[in-house]
Amino acid sequence: MNENDARNALLIRAFEAAPATPHWDDEDRQWASRSAAQIEGEKASAGAFVSRRAALAAERLASRVPAVAHALAAVQWRPWAGWLVVAAALLAGLVLDALSADKRINILAPPILAILLWNLTVYLLVAIHALAGGGRGPQPPPGGLLKPMQRLLARLMMGLPRSLLKPDAASPLALFVRQWLALSGALNAARAAAVMHRAAAAFAIGAVAGLYVRGLAFEYVAGWESTFLNVGVVGALLKVVLGPASFLTGIGLPDEARLAAMRLPGGVGENAAGWIHLYAVTVLLVVVVPRIALGGFQSLRARRLAANLPVPLTDGYFQNLRRLHTGHAARVRVLPYSYQPSPPGLDGLRRLMQQVYGNEVQLSILPPVPLGGEDHLETVGREPVALTLALFSLSATPEYENHANFVAALVGALPANAAVVAVVDESAFIRRFGATSERLGERRATWRRILSNRVDIEPVFVSLESEDMGDAGRKLSEVLDEISGRVVQNARFRAGAKASA
């Protein structure tokens, strides 16, 4: 998806994932799906269908809720702000020399020399980061000081309202903004890096231009002074720093006698015009050209990302839309472990799955696996399903050698990257101890520790026999999204490793 389609898709996803909103209901969902299918056709790809549906839905939603249009506008990158930063850097460079009333140029410590050293340090960080990336796809810019600066630039140039950036904000718009910032992080980092590179080039150009402008009205005198360096060492340093510029311009570097005469405060120095020319060419070679090239690279990277953002179309929400478009229902395989769910519990499980996969979900309830039966899972089957669900009872005391090993064996028996989640039914436990019992929290904590330490799976707790299952559907969707994200990340890692091999 391109940037605009991805932004719309995440917006509508946030509203449709919300428990309830007066601005978007089931009738609106059906209208968006039906209209997109009519426009794109039955044979449209999943990306095309989702993009068209999101565009239609975002337009309708924005017409009802002004805050939606404002949020969509707020998260859009503002190129003019980037160029404003570049212009400000140019102006800062111009006034850099004007801040000093001294008309002497110390050839060992002019402001331009500090600019050169800073830029060389940045190049070193960029090179280290590129080598650390191993060539696996586009890497974000180097860390340290640069990352906070890039995040600040991204926030300023997108004009995000603070109310939508609070981590605990639960509104659909706040959820959309958080998800969009996460998805577009690499894109915005590339754009911010391009701005920073151009700003660095503009600052260096401004600093050199300031010397030339002030040199028209004032006479600069070039000299040097040092507590520790002698004439020979200074001459060697100048050959390293200014040698290439001297070769290109034909402006010769001073010999030892000339350097000795330039030593301050006893020496008289010399006219600084030649030195300004040498430093100007050096800045061009060391700062301007590389920074413009790096900025161009980041701009190209940003354009590529903007044209093809990695929207997780494999997660539960987008897979549901795809199945809705193709008319295929989601299939869920359920394996109870040492536990026989009651008929009301099975009805609740179906309602839970309908919250995640829609009303047409198909449940396949396999016979319960007995305690210790995790070594015999041949009956699970390897046919593709949307989800394999390990079903437990909270009344059971979880054990590493049984419950955790069952989930681990289940993952191993299924194809790679198959979605596996653990749902713990609290119905019987709550009937016995009550929903407010301290033992409920303690038992949940034990289940989390056992499963997360053994198989890194976060269990979803729900009372399946209850009419109100709370936010279990949302939590299950979040777990599925996390699994989907890991699958995508692993696939990209393998592809990058294969490409670099």
Q: 377-411 pLDDT, tens per residue? A: 766 766 778 888 999 999 999 888 889 889 888 88
Provide φ and ψ at 401, rounded to 5°: -75, -10
Report how far residue 91's alpha carbon sits from residue 99's, in angstroms, rounded to the nearest whole number: 13
Q: Which of 122, 176, 225 is nearest to 11 (CA)?
A: 176
Report how far residue 192's alpha carbon sits from residue 310's, in angstroms, rounded to the nearest whole number: 19
Give the CB-side neighbour count of residue 242, counting CA atoms within 13 A.
23
Q: Which regions of the chain are under pLDDT 70? A: 19-20, 97-102, 133-170, 314-316, 378-379, 381-382, 417, 481, 483-501
Report how far residue 447's alpha carbon sits from residue 453's, in angstroms, rounded to the nearest whole number: 10
Strands 270-271 and 221-223: antiparallel
CA-based R_g, the chain, Å: 32
For residue 387, what are the β-bridge partners?
332
Query: Residues 130-183: pLDDT tens digits?
Result: 887 644 444 444 444 455 555 555 566 666 666 666 666 668 888 888 888 888
Report how far residue 50's alpha carbon sits from residue 36's, in angstroms, rounded to the nearest whole number: 8
Strands 362-365 and 331-336: parallel
Predicted structure pTM score: 0.71
Provide φ and ψ at 327, rounded to 5°: 80, 10
Q: What is the pLDDT of residue 394?
A: 93
Phi-psi bin for 434: left (phi > 0), alpha (psi -120 to 50), beta?
left
Report how far residue 304's alpha carbon sits from residue 290's, in angstroms, rounded to the nearest whole number: 21
- What is the DSSP-derived secondary structure letter of residue 374? G
Domain with CATH 3.40.50.300 in the chain: 321-500
Q: What is the pLDDT of residue 218?
A: 81
Report how far residue 328's alpha carbon sits from residue 48's, in angstroms, rounded to the nearest whole number: 18
End-to-end CA distance of the chain: 28
313 in helix, strand or coil? coil
Give the start-end residues of each E strand in 47-151: 104-106
Mutual orientation of helices 66-74 and 172-183 as an angle, nearest 10°?
20
List strands edge to edge, sheet with 270-271. 104-106, 221-223, 270-271
Report how far residue 481's alpha carbon sits from residue 488's, in angstroms, rounded to the nearest whole number: 11
The secondary structure element, H or E, covering residue 148 is helix 146-158
Residue type, 199: A
142 in helix, strand or coil? coil
Q: What is the pLDDT of residue 342?
A: 92
As a whole number, the mean pLDDT across the chain is 82
Superfamily of domain 321-500: P-loop containing nucleotide triphosphate hydrolases (3.40.50.300)
